[in-house]
Homo-oligomer: A and B are copies of this chain.
């Protein structure tokens, strides 16, 4: 179990890790894209495979037992670096960098790019990827408002196909009722809103207990 880990790394160590793992993960992301699109001959593909297997074996010589979890340093918010949407160390994540309105009112937004790895219908973002991004965005809005929660219900309305490329997502808190928060949001393509979402987020008991025992509230249940 990875769980929520307090590793108390210093700001300097955080900076070192970001500078190391950010570009490394970007390189693997780029390889993922090239893997889908390459047209080189069979011999070249087999050679690349053998080299990649050898690199993987070296990286696995020392590794976490399981997934990354969320780790907390000495002074800053959690590091959800394995997260499939925002994870700095996850090559399968675009990754989204989500901005929070400084007022803390729950408004969040993100400008991001989705390439070949996120395809559903030809040239379009997979409808499920749009759902995945909006789940993260709406959950972030709830967290930004101080009401982090697990997704209880999520409804997506697809207005038009979302083209692969440069996109934007925005989300906000619609209403709060105790431990329940309703958030809304959308994805914007070159021709306006492509997908709209409404979600109900609920703070689970274990999270309320965890929050009661620590100063820096985990913002990433989802």
Contact = CB atoms under 8 A, between A and B. Distances in A.
Nearest to A159: B152
A136 B132 contact: no
Contact of A90 (B36, B67, B152, B157): B36
A212 interface: no
Contact of A120 (B84, B128, B131): B84
A73 interface: no
Most buried by B among A60, A68, A139, A151: A151
A1 B56 contact: no
Interface stretch (A23-31, A100-108, A172-180, A185-193): A23-31
Interface in A196-214: none
Interface in A126-157: 126-129, 131-136, 139, 150-157
A39 B62 contact: yes
Chain A binding surface, main DSSP class: mixed
Contacts of A139: 127
Nearest to A131: B131
B164 A153 contact: no
Given A28-B32, A90-B36, A154 B126 contact: no
A63 B83 CA distance: 29
Contacts of A27: 49, 52-53, 56
21 contacts: A4-B122, A20-B45, A24-B35, A28-B32, A31-B52, A31-B59, A32-B32, A36-B82, A40-B59, A40-B61, A44-B58, A51-B55, A52-B52, A67-B116, A68-B116, A84-B120, A85-B126, A90-B119, A128-B132, A150-B161, A154-B155
